[in-house]
Amino acid sequence: MFPAGIGHTNHHTGFEVALKLDMFGEVSKPVVVAQNAERITLRGVHGDTPWALEFTIARMDYQGNLRVQARLTGDGEVLAAPIRTAVIGQRVVVRADDQINVAMLVRRV
């Protein structure tokens, strides 16, 4: 449950998320902007296998504490679905195995 006003105001609710996607040795570094509790989806294909990364970042309080919920799928199968707590500026890692790693660095917009 969010404190009063959290998630219901546009004041400092946006995040810049710098990602490092390492999928089967292919590395990309997209940067996306997400609003508080907005679901972001990135998709790609490796060989003939589609993959998707969905994540939501939600502010837990006004001190910069966050809840990061991610879901990584490959060919429709869930590979990882962690829920992490973090703070603004802290790296969050989602790892399915040695060939699939995602790192996120979350900053305020």
Query: What is the residue extent of each domain of the chain?
Result: 14-92
Q: What is the pLDDT of residues 87-107, one digit of tens each?
A: 999 999 999 888 899 999 999
Query: Which pLDDT tens digit goes with each residue over 37-88?
Result: 999 999 999 889 899 999 999 999 989 999 999 999 999 999 999 999 999 9
Contacts from 88-96 at CB under 8 Å and sequence distance 24+?
88/64, 89/64, 92/68, 94/53, 94/55, 94/70, 96/72
pTM higher than 0.85: no
Helix segments in 17-105, DSSP class H: none
